[in-house]
Structure 1
Amino acid sequence: MVANPARRVALADAAITVLGEQGARGLTHRAVDVLAGLPKGTASNYFPSRAALLLGAAERIFVRLTPEDSRVGEIEASAGDDTLVDYVQYVLERLLAAPQLALALIELRLAAARSADVAEVIAPFLRAGLAADVEFHRTHGLSGGTDRVVLLHHLVDGLVLDRLTVPLQPDRDPADVAAEFVRALRSR
C-alpha cells in the first residue's frame, strides 16, 4: 500500500474526535475507520497498533494546537510586563476554542494513568512537549525557566479541565483567572 499523508491526517483527526467524544475506551481502529468514512482496516494499515493510534492522535493534537506565528509575533511585539500573561491567555484561548482537542488530550493523559502501555507511548511525547515549551519561553524572552513553565502547564491544564467539565465559577472568565495567576507568579 502506498502511504497517503492526507488519509493519515484524516485518520488521526478521526481518532481525536473519538477520544474527545467517547474517551480512550471508545478508541478502536474500527471506530476511527467508521468516523473517517473509510473501509474497515484502513486505520490499522496506517496505525498498526493501539499505541501507534494513540501516538498518532497525540502528534496530531499538537500539530493542530501549534501557535500561529503572526499571533506570537503580536504578543512579542507588545514586549510589556504582560507579555507572559498574553501568551498564557493565548494558549488557553487555543485550547478552549478546540474543546475536542483538549478533551482528547485529557483522555490520553487519563488513559496513561490507567495503563503502563499508554503511559509508555504518551509520557515521552508530553515531556518532549514540555521541553519545547521551555525552549520557546527561552527563545522568545518570556520569563521563567523549567519550573515556571511547569507551573504554567498546571495552570492551563486545570483551567481547561474546569471549563470543559463542571466549572467551579462558571461566570468567571478563565482568561482573567490566568492573568491573575501569572501576575501573582511574576511577583514572587
Structure 2
Amino acid sequence: MARNQERRTTLLDAAIEVLGDEGARGLTFRAVDARAGVPTGTSSNYFTDRDQLLSQVADRIFVRMTPEPDSLVAALEPKPSRELVVELMRWVARRMAAERTCYLGLFELRLEATRRPELRTQLTKVLRTDLAYNIRTHVENGMPGDADTVRLLYFALTGLLFDHFTVPGLHDDRELDDLIETLVSRIVPEA
C-alpha cells in the first residue's frame, strides 16, 4: 500500500510539473507518465479520468505549498505588527517562488475550473479552507487588522505574484519585496 501511495504522489507531482510547464491542455495521462518516468498507462491505473486527476492535483498543490508547522510557529514569534506582516508576506512570496511550478499549476487549475464544475467545487473548497486558516491564524495571533485585512492581502499578493510569475518585467522599476511592503502598508492598519 505504501508503494502505491508513493507512486500516486509521484504521479501527482509529475502532473503539477506538466500543468505548470504546458498548461491544462498539455495535461494528459501520457504526459504525466512521461514526466514521472513510468510506463505508459500507469496514471490511468491511479486516476479514473482527467477530472479526478485535476481534483487530486489541487489537493497536492496545497500539500506542497503548506509550510511545516514549526516554521510557521517560528515566523509568528515576533511581536504582532505591520512590520511582521510585511515579513510574513515576503516569506509567503519566497515560498511561492520556491514552488513556482505549483503556483503556476494553481493558476492553470483556476482557469480550468471555469469550464469544469466539479473542479470548481473542489478548488473552491481547498481555497476557502486555506483562506479561512490564514484569517484564523492572523486574528488568533493578534496581528493588526481583521478578516477583511487578510482577504485584501490575499487578493493583492495573489495578483502581484501572478504578474511576477507570468510577466516578470511588468514591474521592472520595483523589487518584489518593495511592492509587498507598499501593499501591506496600504492595507494593514498600524498596530
* TM more than 0.5: yes
Query: Which deviates more, 82-91 or 132-141?
Result: 132-141
Q: Deviations over 1:112-134 (max 9, x none)?
A: 12333431332222212212222
- 1:48 is paired with a residue of what secondary structure? coil
Q: 1:61·1:101 contact (CA, 8 Å) conserved in 2?
A: yes
Q: How many residues align?
A: 188
Q: 2:12·2:56 contact (CA, 8 Å) conserved in 1?
A: yes
- 1:159 is paired with a residue of what secondary structure? helix
Q: Does 1:25 align with 2:14?
A: no
In structure 2, what is the Cα distance between the partners aligned to 1:2 and 1:78? 40
In structure 2, what is the Cα distance between the partners aligned to 1:150 and 1:61? 20
- 1:39 is paired with a residue of what secondary structure? coil
Q: Does 1:145 align with 2:171?
A: no
Q: 1:16·1:100 contact (CA, 8 Å) conserved in 2?
A: yes
Q: Does 1:134 align with 2:135?
A: yes
In structure 1, what is the Cα distance between the partners aligned to 2:122 and 2:76? 34
In structure 1, what is the Cα distance between the partners aligned to 2:2 and 2:95? 34
Q: Does 1:14 align with 2:14?
A: yes
For the aligned residues, what is the CA RMSD? 2.1
Displacement over 6 Å in runs of 4+: none
For 1:115, the equivalent position in structure 2 comes to 116
TM-score using structure 2 length: 0.88
**CA separation of 1:74 and 1:119: change in aligned 2, threshold 3 A:** same
| Deviation (angstroms), 1:48 | 1.5
Q: Does 1:92 align with 2:93?
A: yes
Match of 1:173 among 155, 159, 175: 175
| Deviation (angstroms), 1:95 | 0.7
TM-score using structure 1 length: 0.89
Identity of matched residues, %: 41
For 2:187, the equivalent position in structure 1 comes to 185
In structure 2, what is the Cα distance between the partners aligned to 1:187 and 1:25? 43
For 2:66, the equivalent position in structure 1 comes to 66
| Deviation (angstroms), 1:72 | 2.5
- 1:83 is paired with a residue of what secondary structure? helix
Q: 2:80·2:141 contact (CA, 8 Å) conserved in 1?
A: no
2:136 maps to a residue whose letter is: E
| Deviation (angstroms), 1:45 | 2.1
2:107 maps to a residue whose letter is: I
